[in-house]
Amino acid sequence: MAYTIPKHHVLTYAPEALRSFSVYGFEWIDNLHFLAAPEDFIGDGVDAFISIAKEMFTEAGWAGDGDIRLLWLPPFAFPLALGIPPEGIVLWHVKQEEDGESFILSPIKLPFEEFSYEGAA
């Protein structure tokens, strides 16, 4: 089996750290096949993370529907100047069922033109 980071090493921060994350809205992320369930990576402490993620998404305009998942972005998706670690970046994501709007929590300010603004619609 090829080397991979153990799942319990993917998220290395406490739930409260989510409050410092940048919040984005994006239309539309329609391929949800590559999203992962947070409980697969966090285990017993997942409820604290989900609770704070829900608060953050709600403050950004999320209607409260859809499943909160994790989205991994590899380091090569970012400009080299950002110095993204080899493990990449894990985003928190929820797709609102009502209108298809995606809400994202990111531990870094995303350097993509689509995310030149913070906050959801």
**SS3 for the chain, per residue?**
CCCCCCHHHCCCCCHHHHHHCEEEEECCCCCCCCCECCHHHHHHHHHHHHHHHHHHHHHCCCCCCCCEEEEEECHHHCCHHHCCCCCCEEEEEEECCCCCCEEEEECCCCCCHHHCCCECC
Whether the pLDDT of residue 120 is over 70: the answer is no
What are the sequence ranges of the domains in the chain?
14-110
Whether the pLDDT of residue 43 is over 70: the answer is yes
pLDDT at 117: 46
Whole-model pTM: value is 0.90
